[in-house]
């Protein structure tokens, strides 16, 4: 199941000129069945960067399947934004696109019990301007950090997905150069017995201390987990606006074989600074070497050697756009007269690229190739992923408050493992939901998504329970975050 | 611009025989600037035995021009048979150009030497080198 989850979560992230991306997925020791947390980062049709951290209730095959489904639905909704070429896709458009994608996800999540009450934070970032729109559906809002500070963005309201808690509002923010946006699941901030606000403050302190580097940011917030480690799984994704965009590589060389090695070396240095996977490291210098070899061998065959121009730049879609131009004559490959390059040059370019475009004319030949690049992410139990110790937590207890009929006092963790106990106690105490009950959640040490889903079910009953959750308690914060704040009885 | 290696093969050494095959160890980068030299060295080595193992595990960059040399040697050379030792650095170009269809490509010398012999054919001992 972990292997399947590893396949579902992204194993690489786009390499972009204005933004650096990083992500982590971690599991607690106690969790061996695969979790329902996910992250995503991808470039939309309109060139925005979509960032997602989400959480499906439960563990095991059903949760992983539900997670995969929600991830795909949201990804499809976010990536197909209605941007048109030449049309500036502003914050308003991005907000509309994000709201539509999340509304579709909300509707989809309602169709199946397994996807109900999932929570998600999603953002669209304009990499060139730093404009951000975001929403958090029953989920901690993103953290804006960098330049020595960190703060959670204001909540957007609305509860978890699929339970009629929408529509979900969208808000805006802006990333200055060097600042980062961090989206995470609640395993990063949720601790038994500690208010969520403490956990959010803790990762804020850790985040504020890191520089403009999303990898170090992800490590810092995970390292800030207290000694006990994770109680659940956790997904983290970060985007850092580059202080300066990645410069393109340009070179103009004589069309001579002796120049090839130097050209490859320039490209290797450029790729090294971008931290790309081995595939990209191999592909770009090889493709350029083959294309320039073609120009050296063929373009100037009938005259004095001319020059070859190289331009390589990140294309903002996750790839490298590479152009090799000569001023000689294009010759289609002739069988039996292929020279040492042997006609393999274009085959190599086609194999290692997403597209090859050849423009020929009296002024020379220009070959443009787009090579996919990727930045590696480790997901699952492999090396850089943290497998942290689990925290033992006491059992859930539910007792009727002496002398107060219908008041159920709940102590301990309300999570996937204990929610059945609470459901049973409630059914008994409320005669199957026909008698209004009061739930005293002041002693709850953890209110996980399984508990939130139960409370949302109760909220939809004709006689919903009232909830006691004093300010500062674990439950109070979670209830506010998940759209259940209206059930809380204020002490008079 | 003269930062890279190229032009001359960093080294091409016939390091003796292994299981009866002539072993040529090549290091450095191979592209159109030195493919002709690579071809000439290979032809010279091939005169020393009917089976040749070209060990490219020390090659850090191999252009398709180098693959063309190997294919020509495997197909038309007088060398008899050819096997190649590859490395992760060059496996992409080896795959794209389909070198494996012309000569066995193996990750180490022992496997390359074995690939030159049909299964069941005993490996000659060093004392019976041909």
B19-75 confidence digits (pLDDT tens): 778 999 999 999 999 999 999 999 988 888 888 999 999 999 999 999 999 999 998
Q: Test B96 with A293 for CB contact under 8 angstroms.
A: no
Check residue A472 and give its pLDDT.
82
Percent of chain A with pLDDT over 90: 50
Question: Which burial class, exposed, middle or buried, applies to A272 when counting CB atoms under 10 A from its CB (0-12, 13-18, 19+)?
Answer: exposed
* A290 closest CB neighbour out of B3, B33, B64: B64
Nearest CA in chain A to B5: A261
Mean pLDDT score, A64-71: 94
The yes-or-no verdict on residue B5 having pLDDT over 50 is no
Check residue B112 and give its pLDDT.
93
Check residue A400 and give its pLDDT.
72
Three-class SS of residue A203?
helix
Residues listed for chain A:
492
- Mean residue pLDDT of chain A comes to 85
Q: Select the more confidently predicted residue: A392 or A422.
A: A422
Mutate which of A252, A258, A268 to test chain B, going by most B C-beta atoms within 10 A?
A258
**Would you call B115 an interface residue with chain A, using a CB distance cutoff of 8 Å?**
no
Check residue A151 and give its pLDDT.
95
Three-class SS of residue A105?
helix
| A57-90 exposure pattern, b = at least 16 Cβ within 10 A, e = fewer | bbbeebbbbbbbbbbebbbebbbebebeeeeebe
Task: For residues A116 and A84, give the distance between their C-alpha atoms in angstroms, rounded to a whole number.
Answer: 34
Check residue A402 and give its pLDDT.
67
Contact B55, B82 (CB under 8 A): no
Query: Sorting pLDDT into bands at 50, 70 and 90, what band is A373?
Result: very high
Could you write out the three-class secondary structure of A16-42? CCCEEEEEEEEEECCCCCCEEEEEEEE
Check residue B3 and give its pLDDT.
42
Phi, psi of A205 (to 5 degrees): -65, -40
Mutate which of A267, A286, A339, A345 to test chain B, going by most B C-beta atoms within 10 A?
A286
pLDDT digits (tens, 9 = 90+) for A241-260: 999 999 999 999 999 999 99
CA atoms within 13 A on the CB side of A112: 15
Tokens of A436: 């209004």
Angle (nearest 5°) at CA A302 between A297 and A306: 65
DSSP B127: G
Alpha-carbon distance B34 to nearest alpha carbon in chain A (angstroms):
9
pLDDT digits (tens, 9 = 90+) for A270-299: 999 998 998 999 999 999 999 999 999 888
Q: Does an H or E element contain A136, and which? A: strand A131-137
Check residue B117 and give its pLDDT.
77
From B2, B10, B69, B76, select the one nearest B40 (Cα to Cα).
B69
Check residue A391 and give its pLDDT.
39
Check residue A178 and give its pLDDT.
95
pLDDT digits (tens, 9 = 90+) for A131-162: 999 999 999 999 999 888 999 999 998 889 99
Check residue A229 and give its pLDDT.
61
The yes-or-no verdict on residue A92 having pLDDT over 90 is no
Considering only CA atoms, give the Rg of chain B: 14
Any idea which fold B11-99 has? Transcription Regulator spoIIAA (3.30.750)
The yes-or-no verdict on residue B129 having pLDDT over 60 is no
Check residue A381 and give its pLDDT.
36
Least confident of A27-41, A99-113, B38-52: A27-41
Q: Select the more confidently predicted residue: A340 or A315.
A: A315
Query: Sorting pLDDT into bands at 50, 70 and 90, what band is A227?
Result: low
Q: Select the more confidently predicted residue: B117 or A178.
A: A178
Residues of B in contact with A266 (CB under 8 A): 3
Task: For residues A17 and A313, give the distance between their C-alpha atoms in angstroms, rounded to a whole number.
Answer: 8
The number of C-beta contacts closer than 8 angstroms across A and B is 93
The yes-or-no verdict on residue A66 having pLDDT over 90 is yes
Least confident of A72-81, A166-175, A476-485: A476-485
Check residue A484 and give its pLDDT.
85
The yes-or-no verdict on residue A51 having pLDDT over 90 is yes
Alpha-carbon distance B123 to nearest alpha carbon in chain A (angstroms):
35
- Mean residue pLDDT of chain B comes to 82
DSSP B24: E
Query: Sorting pLDDT into bands at 50, 70 and 90, what band is A392?
Result: very low
Q: Select the more confidently predicted residue: A193 or A173.
A: A173
Q: What ipTM score was computed for the predicted complex, to two decimals? A: 0.83
Check residue B66 and give its pLDDT.
95
Nearest CA in chain B to A350: B96
pTM of the model: 0.81
Check residue B107 and give its pLDDT.
95
Mean pLDDT score, A344-365: 91
Mean pLDDT score, A28-41: 77
The yes-or-no verdict on residue A390 having pLDDT over 50 is no
Query: Sorting pLDDT into bands at 50, 70 and 90, what band is A478?
Result: confident
Nearest CA in chain B to A285: B61
């Amino acid at each position: 199941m972990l292997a399947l989850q590893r396949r579902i979560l992204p194993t690489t992230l786009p390499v972009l000129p204005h933004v650096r991306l990083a992500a982590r997925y971690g599991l607690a020791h106690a969790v061996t069945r695969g979790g329902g947390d996910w992250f995503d980062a991808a470039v939309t049709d309109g060139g925005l960067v979509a960032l997602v951290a989400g959480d499906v209730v439960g563990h095991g095959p059903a949760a992983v399947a539900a997670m995969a489904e929600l991830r795909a639905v949201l990804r499809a909704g976010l990536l197909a934004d209605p941007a048109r070429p030449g049309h500036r896709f502003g914050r308003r458009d991005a907000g509309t696109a994000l709201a539509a994608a999340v509304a579709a996800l909300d509707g989809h999540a309602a169709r199946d019990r397994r996807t109900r009450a999932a929570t998600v934070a999603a953002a669209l970032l304009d990499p060139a301007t730093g404009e951000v729109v975001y929403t958090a559906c029953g989920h901690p809002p993103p953290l804006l950090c960098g330049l020595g500070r960190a703060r959670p963005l204001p909540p957007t309201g609305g509860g978890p997905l699929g339970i009629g808690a929408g529509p979900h509002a969208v808000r805006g923010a802006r990333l200055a150069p060097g600042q980062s946006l961090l989206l995470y699941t609640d395993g990063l901030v949720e601790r038994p017995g500690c208010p969520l606000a403490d956990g959010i403050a803790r990762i804020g302190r850790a985040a504020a201390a890191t520089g403009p580097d999303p990898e170090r940011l992800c490590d810092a917030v995970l390292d800030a987990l207290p000694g006990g480690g994770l109680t659940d799984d956790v997904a983290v994704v970060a985007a850092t606006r580059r202080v300066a965009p990645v410069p393109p590589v340009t070179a103009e060389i004589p069309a001579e074989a002796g120049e090839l090695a130097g050209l490859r070396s320039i490209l290797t240095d450029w790729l090294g600074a971008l931290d790309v996977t081995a595939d990209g490291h191999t592909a770009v210098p090889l493709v350029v070497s083959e294309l320039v070899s073609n120009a050296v061998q063929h373009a100037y065959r009938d005259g004095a050697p001319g020059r070859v121009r190289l331009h390589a730049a990140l294309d903002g879609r996750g790839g490298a756009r590479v152009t090799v131009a000569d001023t000689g004559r294009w010759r289609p490959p002739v069988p039996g007269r292929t020279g040492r390059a042997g006609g393999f040059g274009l085959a190599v370019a086609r194999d290692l690229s997403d597209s090859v475009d050849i423009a020929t004319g009296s002024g020379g030949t220009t070959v443009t190739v787009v090579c996919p690049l990727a930045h590696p992410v480790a997901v699952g139990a492999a090396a850089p992923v943290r497998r942290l110790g689990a925290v033992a937590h006491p059992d859930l207890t539910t007792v009727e408050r002496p002398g107060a009929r219908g008041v159920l006092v709940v102590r301990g963790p309300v999570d996937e493992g204990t929610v059945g106990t609470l459901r049973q106690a409630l059914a008994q105490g409320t005669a199957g939901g026909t008698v209004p009950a009061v739930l005293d959640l002041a002693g709850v040490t953890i209110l996980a998504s399984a508990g939130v889903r139960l409370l949302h079910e109760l909220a939809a009953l004709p006689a919903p329970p009232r909830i006691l959750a004093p300010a500062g308690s674990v439950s109070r914060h979670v209830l506010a975050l998940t759209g259940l704040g209206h059930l809380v009885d204020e002490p008079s | 611009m003269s930062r890279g290696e190229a032009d001359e093969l960093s080294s091409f050494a016939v390091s003796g025989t292994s299981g009866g095959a002539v072993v040529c160890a090549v290091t450095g980068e191979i592209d159109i600037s030195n493919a002709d030299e690579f071809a000439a060295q290979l032809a010279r080595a091939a005169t020393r035995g009917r089976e040749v193992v070209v060990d490219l595990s020390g090659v850090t960059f191999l252009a398709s021009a180098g693959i063309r040399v190997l294919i020509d040697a495997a197909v038309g050379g007088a060398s008899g048979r050819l096997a190649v030792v590859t490395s992760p650095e060059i496996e992409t170009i080896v795959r794209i150009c389909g070198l494996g269809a012309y000569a066995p490509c193996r990750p180490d010398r022992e496997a390359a030497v074995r690939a030159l012999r049909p299964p069941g054919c005993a490996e000659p001992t060093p004392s019976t080198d041909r």
